[in-house]
């Protein structure tokens, strides 16, 4: 019996399971949204929250702990510079799980796990509007003009 055993085994041996968790957390922090099964997403959520908490701490030992778990130095630098600053005033709950579909092959429940505040991508200017900004109101200021 598995009394007092935490976590899901996911039908894998320990080393394979840890490698799976490490790669899923790395992908989630890199892409900020991934699609996986519900059981995997629920397990990865805790690891991701711990990595973001390390990023918020910002110390050198925290960076080394994150480097020992995550697979990419680029993801660690993104975690400590960009992601941690977005969640600075949030006490926890950095991810959300959204049910998306059932997988065709085995009818597994698929979910999208994403960071609660995702990085905003610059919006493309529609083709109907002039790119030079001629017919715009003087009250409508873009972020670029506000910085200048």
CB 119 within 8 Å of CB 92? no
Please compute the mean of the pLDDT values over residues 15-38 and round it to a whole number.
96
Q: Cα-Cα-Cα-Cα dihedral of 53, 58, 63, 66, to 10°? A: 10
More confident residue, 146 or 81: 81
Structural domain boundaries in the chain: 14-118
64 phi/psi in degrees, rounded to 5: -70, -35
Q: What is the C-alpha separation between 33 and 135, in angstroms, rounded?
A: 37
Please compute the mean of the pLDDT values over residues 30-34 and round it to a whole number.
95
CB 42 within 8 Å of CB 18? no
**pLDDT tens digit sequence for 96-135:** 999 999 999 999 999 999 999 876 765 666 666 555 655 5
Assign domain 14-118 to its CATH superfamily.
Ribosomal protein L17 (3.90.1030.10)
Q: Where are the alpha helices (DSSP H) in the chain?
A: 14-31, 38-57, 60-69, 73-78, 84-86, 143-147
Q: Determine how β-strand 95-102 pairs with β-strand 109-115.
A: antiparallel
Per-residue pLDDT, 111: 97
**pLDDT tens digit sequence for 49-94:** 999 999 999 999 999 999 999 989 999 999 999 999 999 999 999 9
- Beta-bridge partner residues of 101: 110
Per-residue pLDDT, 118: 74
Per-residue pLDDT, 123: 62
């Amino acid at each position: 019996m598995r009394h007092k055993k935490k976590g899901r085994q996911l039908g894998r041996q320990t080393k394979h399971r840890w490698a799976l968790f490490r790669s899923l957390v790395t992908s989630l922090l890199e892409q900020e949204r991934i699609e996986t099964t519900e059981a995997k997403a629920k397990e990865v959520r805790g690891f991701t929250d711990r990595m973001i908490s390390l990023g918020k701490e910002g110390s050198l030992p925290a960076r080394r702990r994150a480097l020992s778990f995550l697979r990419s130095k680029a993801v660690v630098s993104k975690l400590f510079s960009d992601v941690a600053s977005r969640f600075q005033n949030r006490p926890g709950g950095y991810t959300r799980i959204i049910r998306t579909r059932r997988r065709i092959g085995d009818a597994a429940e698929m979910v999208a796990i994403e960071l609660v505040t995702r990085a905003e991508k610059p919006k493309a200017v529609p083709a109907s509007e002039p790119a030079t900004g001629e017919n715009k109101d003087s009250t409508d200021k873009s972020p670029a003009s506000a910085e200048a």
